[in-house]
Structure 1
């Protein structure tokens, strides 16, 4: 009988074992073994061992179904007949065997063992998919999942086209195999998800589960339809495992997003500031890619996360915004340190470009991602104020030496050019024309106001007595410089026309001899500028 089993002549082997079993039962019932119970136990065990050998053969046949390149149709057909004969020979009734003789006459449940064999076959097929180590291949998980879906899809195609024909409908062969593969893959992925996976690997696993598994690339492949059905399959990963995978991905993304933002800053320092590359200009505004770069990073990660689930997309947006709010103060700190350390000609163009970009960033995030930018706007408002304060500080540094020369002998003797102050200020402030309104005009207004105020402060300081001729000379020069300063800043876009009379009023007072006219000029000055008192 063992030889028949080894040769896979299972129907003949089963018939022989059944005769042996029936004979043993008959002898038992005739109480042949009453004097030799050990002989009965031995024969019963022989029957059981032989039946187990057939069960092992069934398992081997099932596992070989997908392993062997050529399908043994006859073998499968014989196996199905064998299972049917065993079920007929051993009806599933409680009276199949008497107490004490449970090895004989009992149903062998080979159909259940057939299902278990399919489950084991599926498990082995899943584990057989090539999987390189992290050291061998950077994208080891991508490759492994690709091999897995390719190999198992081929298995399912073989089951649909060839294996299914060997079984009666009642076996539901395709459904049984699909469920077995599904459970084997689920177990395998659960193990993979417990590994220390990096950002890319976590996304690869999430994407494969969410988008590849049921797609046409795998179970939804057109050639597998309609036999392969996925509607009734359980979740590939348990909700707790799925949530953990998503949370791990977000946690890993935190470092990745921070790194991307850090790279933006690093490139600004090394490729722009240190090399003094001038900012771009678009539609008369200084332009910088900062807003675009940030939105691109956020957009790409939201798109990837949104392909997994809406909740993951929301979490990713929240993470990106949190990292952005942390990044901007670092950006401000670096720019402030760089601008303080040196007097670079690209400082003002970049300051203008950054402030423009901040505006674009807020409007872009609101439009593209429907995000609440209240917190961002507060940070950017403070950052913009700090940037403009740096600008005004640098302006003072450039203007103060020239302002201090006013009413000095060299200034009076006209060795200093009358446009030197206006030229220095306008060269520094000319870039404000390329700042988005109203910020550009507001800052230019501040510049205009500062220059006039400081000019007035210098000329009303107690100096020395001047004769009439000198006073006339000073008055004319002040009026000339006032006009040059005013015209230069108005040409750049300042709307502070109200500042024009300030210096002229004082010039008139200095150049006037008559007290009543001086009083009239002072009155006009105080009326136009009450705070001058």
Structure 2
């Protein structure tokens, strides 16, 4: 009190002396700090411990920082944060390595994925969320800038991790429909939840997450497409035995059995995969039609057209029952059947127009292949082809402008050379 009465601010002098001593000691410690943990302790102590109500053990003795200079000089603070983030990048990468090793150990054990709330599940998404949330939380306790930097570090590390994870899984012996479904679900959960929880930071992950999802979806479909029992079922189509037997049903049974796995996948990727499966079946069916192992004439051709109509209905009904929204595919087989079965030849042009307008990716070779099956004669074929040329040019223009919506069906169907077809007509 006597010092204060004499105008000598003793308390402030003591505080400045104490503050200076602490600052000096902290700077000394900063010189030897190594690794994330030590650097974070220094930063956290300077921001959250020093000057807090509990620092001196007595709330009434809370330090007032108002007249004091920064505990750490701005340049030193910037260096500590920079060192911390450098070590953090290595640490986060190491954490993702550990996540991959943990997943690989599960794959090696050949354990089937869990089913949670009806969906195939892998802990991958939870592990990534915990990793990101933990580091972002502790960084946010230091500063908003460090939190933003940490988010960027986690986003970059996850972007690099995803293709490594996909490659490692596809090279493992655990590849199966349930595991692929679980990985697709994990990617979809990461894509939706991380973007929602950290808007503005994880948008750059949209592309690698979608890429990983597409990789798993492609491999999932390849499991069915590469099935040694599936391709022979397609080859049985458009044969003379096919005219009198239901050779389509065994194929659709395979499709339905495969589609059961999609019921355990997130709705969006499940629908995408189902539509791609739908497209695959229609495309392969048309490929058998346009590259027939046996050609039909007269009454057999009419019966084949009727059979194609029945098959088109069966395929459409099956995929509608499974929930496919790719209704644009339903008309393709039926349009070709109408051309082959039309008894009034002048109406063939109308069916051809419908086919080209509905499927702008169709090429001249496809039209020739269809006309070759119809066996109308060279002169009529040439008239139909001449009229179709304008429609094909308009269709190509629509595809180029994006008006076709990116739908692809005929483009992936290879047919015999045009000259051979013209001769065959």
Same fold, TM-score > 0.5, yes or no? yes
Bigger radius of gyration among the two:
1
> Do the aligned partners of residues 358 and 295 (structure 1) sit closer, same or farther apart at CA in structure 2, a change above 3 Å counting?
closer
> Do the aligned partners of residues 492 and 281 (structure 1) sit closer, same or farther apart at CA in structure 2, a change above 3 Å counting?
farther
Distance 1:486 1:432 in 2: 18
Q: Quick check: 297-306 or 242-251, which moved more?
A: 297-306
Report the counterpart of residue 234 of structure 2 in structure 1: 403
Deviation at 1:474, TM superposition (A): 6.0
Q: 1:323 aligns with which of 157, 168, 183?
A: 157
Report the counterpart of residue 445 of structure 1 in structure 2: 275
Deviation at 1:267, TM superposition (A): 2.7
Q: 2:188 aligns with which of 356, 364, 370?
A: 356
Q: Deviations over 1:198-222 (max 9, x none)?
A: 2112111111111111112224732
Deviation at 1:447, TM superposition (A): 1.9
Report the counterpart of residue 529 of structure 1 in structure 2: 355
Q: Deviations over 1:462-481 (max 9, x none)?
A: 43456888778766765554
Q: 1:214 aligns with which of 26, 39, 51?
A: 51
Instruction: Decide whether the 8 Å contact of 1:351 with 1:387 is kept in 2.
Output: yes
- Is 2:197 aligned against 1:197? no
- Is 2:249 aligned against 1:419? yes
Report the counterpart of residue 243 of structure 1 in structure 2: 78
> Do the aligned partners of residues 517 and 432 (structure 1) sit closer, same or farther apart at CA in structure 2, a change above 3 Å counting?
same
Deviation at 1:523, TM superposition (A): 5.0
Distance 2:244 2:250 in 1: 14
Q: How many residues align?
A: 356
Report the counterpart of residue 345 of structure 1 in structure 2: 177
Q: Quick check: 285-294 or 390-399, which moved more?
A: 285-294
> Do the aligned partners of residues 271 and 343 (structure 1) sit closer, same or farther apart at CA in structure 2, a change above 3 Å counting?
closer
Q: 2:89 aligns with which of 254, 258, 264?
A: 254
Q: 1:263 aligns with which of 92, 98, 101?
A: 98
Distance 1:252 1:327 in 2: 18
Distance 2:89 2:44 in 1: 19
- Is 2:148 aligned against 1:314? yes
Report the counterpart of residue 375 of structure 2 in structure 1: none
- Is 2:150 aligned against 1:304? no
Deviation at 1:241, TM superposition (A): 1.9
Taking structure 1 as the reference length, the TM-score comes to 0.56
Distance 1:520 1:442 in 2: 39
Report the counterpart of residue 405 of structure 2 in structure 1: none
Instruction: Decide whether the 8 Å contact of 2:89 with 2:153 is kept in 1.
Output: yes
Deviation at 1:352, TM superposition (A): 3.6
Instruction: Decide whether the 8 Å contact of 2:335 with 2:351 is kept in 1.
Output: yes
Report the counterpart of residue 460 of structure 1 in structure 2: 290
Q: Which has the higher contact order (CA 8 A, sep 6+)?
A: 2
Instruction: Decide whether the 8 Å contact of 2:236 with 2:247 is kept in 1.
Output: no
Report the counterpart of residue 490 of structure 1 in structure 2: 320
> Do the aligned partners of residues 343 and 429 (structure 1) sit closer, same or farther apart at CA in structure 2, a change above 3 Å counting?
same
Instruction: Decide whether the 8 Å contact of 1:348 with 1:428 is kept in 2.
Output: no
Partner SS for 1:313: helix
Deviation at 1:312, TM superposition (A): 1.7
Distance 1:470 1:206 in 2: 84
Partner SS for 1:495: coil
Instruction: Decide whether the 8 Å contact of 1:186 with 1:236 is kept in 2.
Output: yes
Taking structure 2 as the reference length, the TM-score comes to 0.69
Report the counterpart of residue 416 of structure 2 in structure 1: none
Q: How does 1:80-229 map to 2 (within 5 A)?
A: 175=12, 177-219=14-56, 221-224=58-61
Q: Deviations over 1:306-330 (max 9, x none)?
A: 2112222222222222222222222
Q: How does 1:38-53 map to 2 (within 5 A)?
A: none
Instruction: Decide whether the 8 Å contact of 2:239 with 2:294 is kept in 1.
Output: no
After superposition, the CA RMSD in angstroms is 3.8
Report the counterpart of residue 429 of structure 1 in structure 2: 259
